[in-house]
Homo-oligomer: A and B are copies of this chain.
Amino acid sequence: MRIGVLGTGVVGTTIAAKLRELSHDVLIGSRSASDDALPFANAAAHGELVFNCTSGVASLEALGAAGEENLSGKVLVDVANPLDFSQGMPPRLSVCNDDSLGEQIQRAFPTAKVVKALNTMNAAIMVDPARVPGAHDVFVCGNEDDAKTQVAELLQSFGWPAERIVDLGDITAARGQEMYLPLWLRLMGAVGQPNFNIRAVH
């Protein structure tokens, strides 16, 4: 599959490497083109499906540079967290409570099929869930069932068991997925390292 990965940080490079390992045709997009990355618009135009792995506080601008015409009708997997480190630690969320980054992106690009996914864990776990022993969960949400199905298939190819892919509903559930981050940061402190994830037990 042709996939555009926007963002050259740890999340973007980790996801792009996994997708290439799975034989997808991947182009990486960046604000400033380089040997490894094209402009956002070229990477987005290439993808039948696009991953947003840019910094959450810069995602709307990055997606604007990618171009609505290059996102229209496509599944846009939003992995970003709107973490604002400008006022020091701990980061605050630049949007929360009545809104979320996932919703902002869906409103700004109404013809894209935004699926929020994978933002609740360390990048290494996203593409290799077996790094954490035992059962643990990945959350997805979005307005389009067919888009969530397509993302769930990709997640299964990453190693996620179908029964650990939890559909939280429409894109407004991105509030919950993003507002979990302050707890994640504290759990990282308590666990002592980022190689953990949560599981809903019932």
Chain A interface (Cβ < 8 Å from any Cβ of B): 90, 92-93, 96-98, 132-136, 139, 141, 166-169, 172-173, 175-177, 179-180, 182-187, 189-191, 193, 195-202
Contact = CB atoms under 8 A, between A and B. Distances in A.
19 contacts: A90-B172, A93-B97, A96-B96, A96-B179, A132-B201, A132-B202, A141-B186, A167-B190, A168-B189, A168-B190, A169-B190, A176-B183, A190-B200, A191-B202, A193-B202, A195-B202, A196-B200, A197-B200, A199-B199
A187 B201 contact: no
A185 B198 CA distance: 16
Given A198-B198, A201-B199, A202-B196, A182 B191 contact: no
Copies of this subunit: 2
Given A179-B179, A196-B202, A198-B198, 10 more contacts: A96-B179, A133-B201, A135-B201, A168-B189, A169-B186, A176-B182, A190-B200, A191-B202, A198-B199, A198-B200
A50 to B, nearest CB: 24
Nearest to A192: B202
Contacts of A177: 183
A185 B169 CA distance: 11
Contacts of A186: 139, 141, 168-169, 173, 176
Most buried by B among A139, A179, A193: A179
A201 B196 contact: yes
